[in-house]
Amino acid sequence: MIASFIITFRETLEAALIIGIILAYLARTKKQKYNILVYLGTIAAIILSITAALIFGVLSISFEGTAEQIFEGITMLLAAFLLTFMILWMMKRRHVAHEIREHVSEELQEKHKLGLFFIAFIAVLREGIETVLFLGALTFTTGKVSIFGGFAGIVLAIFLGYAFFRGTKKINLKIFFSITSILLILFAAGLVAHGVHEFEEARIIPTVVEHVWDINPPINPDGSYPLLHEKGYIGSIAKGLFGYNGDPSLIEVLSYIAYLILIFILWRNIEKVHKVI
C-alpha cells in the first residue's frame, strides 16, 4: 500500500504542478479562454494512460515460463531506468516553473494555440505512462498493488496541487522532492536487483552464488508468514519500498550496491554543478 501511494502521489503531484503552472500563467495573463485546451490535453493523456495500463495488463498475463521472467525482468529494469532519469532530471530542472511559463508564452505569442494542448498532453501522459510502468514493476516485485493506496496518492496529490496554486498551502517542494527522491532511489535499486533475479531465473545471467544469506524466518505452523519474512506483512512492505530480499543471490546484492553507488556519484556531480552555477 505504501509503495503504491508514494508512486502515484509523486507522479500525480508532478503532473498537477505542471498543469497548475500553466493555468496560473494563463490566469495572470488573462488568457483563461485557452484553459479548455489545457483541460482537453489533460483528459486525452489520462485516457491514453488508462489504455496503456490495460494493454500492459494484457501483455503481463500473456507470457509464461521463461518469456514471463524475461518480460518481468525487462519491465523492472526499464522502470528503474525511468525512475533514475526522472529523479536526475528533476534535480537539474530547479527552475522548472520558469521554463514551463516560457514554453506557454512562446505558444501564445506564435499563436500556435494547439501547443497548449500538447504541453499539457505530454506532461500528463509522461507521468501516466511512468505510473503504469512503475506499478507494473511493483506488481511483479511484491505480487500485488494496493488500489486504495494508489487512489489515495492520486487524490492527495491533486488536492495539494490545487491548494498550492490557490495559495492556501505552503509546500516546501525542495524538501518534498528530496525525501521522495530518496525513497524512489531505494525503490529503483530494488527493481534493479529483482530484475537481475528474473534474468537469473530465465538463465540469461548465471547464478554465481544462489543465496548470500537467508534471514527469512521459518514459516508459521499454520502456513502463514512471520512479520519479518519477505512475504510477511512488514517484510513485504520493505520489499516493495526498498527491494528487501531475505535470501538474495550474489549478483542481486552486487547490482543493488552498484546502482546505489552510481546514483550517489551522479547526484553529487549534479550538486557540484549547481554550486558552481
**pLDDT at 76 exceeding the cut of 70:** yes
pLDDT at 209 over 60: yes
Is the pTM of the predicted complex or chain greater than 0.85?
no
Q: Which of the pair, 82 or 161, is modelled with greater confidence?
A: 82
pLDDT grade for 2, boundaries at 50, 70 and 90: confident
CA distances to 21, 102, 105 from 99, in Å: 10, 5, 10
Res 95: pLDDT: 57
* Residue found by looking up cell 514471463 in the block: 68
**How many C-beta atoms lie closer than 10 Å to residue 144's C-beta?**
12
User: Angle at CA 179, nearest 5°, toward 177 and 183?
Assistant: 110
Q: Is the pLDDT of residue 113 over 70?
A: no
**9: number of CA atoms within 13 Å, CB side?**
19
Report whether pLDDT(191) > 90: yes
Structure-model confidence comparison of residues 170 and 52, the more confident one: 52
Mean pLDDT of the chain: 84
Residue 171, pLDDT score? 62
By C-alpha distance, which of 207, 183, 169, 250 is closest to 11? 183
Q: Has residue 168 got a pLDDT over 60?
A: no
**What confidence tens digit (pLDDT) does each residue in 28-42 have?**
888 888 889 999 999
**pLDDT value of residue 97:** 60
Task: Tell me the CA end-to-end span of the chain in Å, nearest whole number.
Answer: 40
Place 173 in a pLDDT band, splitting at 50, 70 and 90: low
- The residue with greater pLDDT, 217 or 176, is 217
Predicted local confidence at residue 99, as pLDDT: 65
Q: What is the pLDDT of residue 267?
A: 86
Grid cell for residue 53: 495500463
pLDDT surpassing 90 at residue 245? no
Q: CA angle 101-103-109, nearest 5°?
A: 100
Q: CB of 242 within 8 A of CB of 193?
A: no
Q: What percent of the chain has pLDDT over 70?
A: 87
pLDDT of residue 147: 83
Average pLDDT of span 123-148: 86
